[in-house]
Amino acid sequence: MGFLLKCPNCGERTVYEYRSGGEETDRPQPGDPAQDWTRYFYLRRNAAGDQREWWYHALGCRRWLIAVRDTVTNQVKETYWPGEAQA
Ligand SMILES: [Zn+2]
C-alpha cells in the first residue's frame, strides 16, 4: 500500500523511494537497568495510532529521517531529521 512521505530535503515522494528502518525507540544509556535494555531490544509498542519511525531515502538524498506515521491510516503527519526537536 503506497503512501507519500515528505523528505525534509527532497519534498513529498512516494514511499517506494524509501526503506523503512522500523520504529524509533529511545536507546538506554550504559549503566541503565537490564530491563531497560531488554525492552529496547525485544519489545516494540506496535501502537495503533501515531508512531515514530526511521526511514531511509534510498532513491533520493540517502539520508535517514524520522517520520510520525499513523499506523491505522498510514498517514504521515510529519517528518524531521534525527536529533531535531519534534515540532
Ligand atoms: Zn530525500
What domains appear along the chain, each with residue ranges and CATH number?
Answer: 4-24+36-80 (3.30.2270.10)
Ligand 1 centre distance from Cα of residue 46 (Å): 26
50-61 average pLDDT score: 95
SS3 53: strand
pLDDT at 44: 67
Q: How far apart are CA 52 and CA 59, in angstroms?
A: 21
Is the model more confident about 35 or about 13? 13
Distance (angstroms) between ligand 1 centre and the Cα of 64 equals: 8
- The rounded Å distance from CA 37 to ligand 1 centre is 32
